[in-house]
Chains A and B, each alone.
Chain A
Amino acid sequence: MASIRQNVELSRLPDFRNLGVMLRILLAVNLFALLAALARSPDLARMAEEFVGQAAVLEPALIFSLLLAYLAGPRLARLPYFHGAALMSLIAVAGVLVIYSFFAPLLGADTTLPALARQALWTLLAVAALLYYFHLRSRAISPALAEARLMALTARIRPHFLFNSLNAVLGVIRSDPQRAERALEELSDLFRVLMADNRELVRLSDEIALCRQYLDLERLRLGDRLEVKWQVEACPPDALVPPLMLQPLLENAVYHGIEPGEGPGRLAITIARNRDEVLIRLENPYHGGGNHHPGNRMALDNIRERLMLFYDLEARLGTGVVQGTYRVDIRIPYRRK
């Protein structure tokens, strides 16, 4: 199941398909090797030599083991923690031994049984240390803490928006009761999502539907000043995204891009899939600096932090101004149920 829990729950193997996890393993193992080389060498020059010699076998073995872990990852994750960990250790040992027995003769290293046993032992130690590290790390961003952080991050909506919307509903309630009804229904849908338990990923199509409702509410207040252009034909509706990932960004775009402008301002939302990534682009008119509200940065930091909690290093959020248009670009891995 794709959810925040994979990053935070206790006693769960790390996601070996996660770029952040892979990078951490690569770094940690190389650091081990460096330390081992340091321990075995009398001086720095010899250490470099030792490290390079070692690397010739270490790097292919490491990459091969990572590849095995990548392939086995989802299956391992389904096993109970200790079974998974044991199996992972076996896989790593097997991977290292295969590579070692292939490369060692080429390098003139010995392939006797004691030598192989030593390699296996080193591998086991490294795997154990790494799993312990990931275990500690997941405790550090402990579920309680991460979930509390996540709840606090998602629960925010601008009071500005709420009171302005209520005011707008009151403004049309006598002249157009049906429009007022629709607005209140939209508002309650929006709040239902805002107050829900937002820890699980949701379908992108649901998030888009919510955003459409939100923008309809804003149109009640802003009328013709708000133009919206959706380009989502190439969007995979089954993709999973963090809940309320888009809506706050649209709220931001309305607040900073549409409200300060007099004439019609266009908000463009483009979503497309590029192989195993989902690309999202939001654009709104840019009205320059001179704004005393620090709200914009806060909303962006908020989304960025939530993307980090859900995807670690695999998601990107960038912003920029291009020819009078403010742009937010997000890329997240394409995940499905």
Chain B
Amino acid sequence: MMTAAPMKIFLVDDEKPARERLKAVLADIAGQLPNQVVGEAANGMEALEGIPAAGPDVVLVDIRMPRMDGVELVRHLGRMERPPAVVFVTAYDQYAVQAFELNAVDYLLKPVRAERLAGALGKARRSGPLAAAVLDRLPQEGRRHLSCTERGRILLIPVEHILYLKAELKYVTARTAEREYLLEESLTQLESEFPRRFVRVHRNCLIAREAIAGFERDSSSEGETHWLALVKGAAEKLPISRRQWPAVKAAFAGERGD
């Protein structure tokens, strides 16, 4: 054995007795697998605040939690420079369990048993963090936030605050009323993930349906008429491609309830 240091573990579960139970079992297996609980959180948001500072090796994550579910949490953790390994814990969720089995993701069923926990922790440390592609296939309530890293910290951007998304070279920029964020996502993927929220105005741009303030004729273009979308809460005007114009117009009408 080359590691003498105890394994650092972070617990995420919205039910206090469930966290107590995990702590008790972790203490029971400490002889066989030295470990140390370095933090705990009651939901995904709290966990994102605590995990980077606590620097755990493994995070035990409940699936169903308020504010941010377990799968979304793990997707955001993937932005960390050295993401921790993850073991999902669920009481009973046949959808989740099927998906775990299909994608060979390790999981534990509540009530968690000591031997299974020890086995899963050992395995998780060896196999490392989960691939984003696998996470996409797990059942989830849908991301409520996008995330990016700035100076080692994970920033969350609530999806409903985003006015528009623009692809520029390698990155996608998300614009909120306050500022811009650089995302490592693809516009196509975002478009298919949030079809009810955003509509495409141009090859390189999605706008939030409810952020469309109106339209304006593009005076700079010659000949054929081009339109610009006006954005609520931002000065920028977004050019609309001829191909997207009917869809954008319909989205605007639908948003107003016409």
Contacts and interface: CB of A to CB of B under 8 A. Distances in A.
Contact of A259 (B17, B21, B24, B64): B64
B244 to A, nearest CB: 26
Nearest to B113: A170
Nearest to A255: B64
A170 B66 contact: no
A295 to B, nearest CB: 11
B21 A167 contact: yes
Contacts of A260: 64, 66
Interface stretch (B51-59, B87-95, B203-211): B87-95
Contacts of A164: 15, 18, 91-92, 110
Contacts of A158: 92
A168 B66 contact: no
A222 interface: yes
Contacts of B21: 167-168, 170-171
Contacts of B232: none
Contacts of A171: 15-21, 24
Contacts of B34: none
A292 B141 contact: yes
A291 B19 CA distance: 25
7 contacts: A160-B91, A166-B111, A167-B111, A168-B18, A175-B20, A221-B18, A262-B67
B95 A172 contact: no
A67 B200 CA distance: 67
Interface string B190-210: 000000000000000000000
A262 B43 contact: yes
Given A159-B92, A262-B14, 10 more contacts: A160-B91, A166-B111, A167-B15, A167-B91, A167-B110, A170-B111, A172-B17, A222-B15, A223-B16, A292-B139
Contacts of A172: 17, 20
B109 interface: yes
Given A164-B91, A221-B17, A290 B142 contact: yes
At the interface, is chain A mostly helix, strand, loop or mixed?
helix
Interface residues on A, range: 20 to 34
B141 A290 contact: yes
A75 interface: no
Contacts of B93: 160
Nearest to B110: A167
A222 B15 CA distance: 6
A261 interface: yes
A168 B111 CA distance: 8
A220 interface: yes
A185 to B, nearest CB: 17
B66 A262 contact: yes
The residue among A158, A162, A221, A291 with the most chain B CB atoms within 10 A of its own CB is: A221
A15 B24 CA distance: 59
B22 to A, nearest CB: 8
Interface string A145-178: 0000000000000111011101111111011000
Contacts of B15: 164, 167-168, 171, 221-222
A170 B20 CA distance: 9
The interface centre, meaning the residue of A162, A172, A222, A262 with most chain B CB atoms within 10 A of its CB, is A262
A214 to B, nearest CB: 16
Contacts of B24: 171, 174
Contacts of A160: 91-93
Nearest to A158: B92
B148 to A, nearest CB: 23
B125 to A, nearest CB: 24
Closest 8 CB pairs of A and B: A171-B17, A171-B21, A168-B17, A167-B110, A159-B92, A262-B66, A163-B91, A171-B20
Interface string A249-268: 00000000001111000000
A260 B43 CA distance: 10
A298 to B, nearest CB: 13
Given A168-B18, A259-B64, A262-B67, A163 B142 contact: no
A61 to B, nearest CB: 55
A160 B200 CA distance: 40
Contacts of A170: 17, 21, 111
Contacts of B95: 292-293
B122 to A, nearest CB: 22
A194 B39 CA distance: 39
Interface in B37-52: 42-43
Interface string B1-43: 0000000000000111111110010000000000000000011
Interface string B124-146: 00000000000000010110000
Contacts of B110: 163-164, 166-167
Contacts of B17: 167-172, 220-221
Interface centre among A167, A172, A223 (most CB of B within 10 A): A167
Interface string A169-196: 1111011000000000000000000000
A307 B112 CA distance: 38
Contacts of A220: 17
B257 to A, nearest CB: 19
A290 B69 CA distance: 12
A9 B185 CA distance: 64
Contacts of B111: 163, 166-167, 170
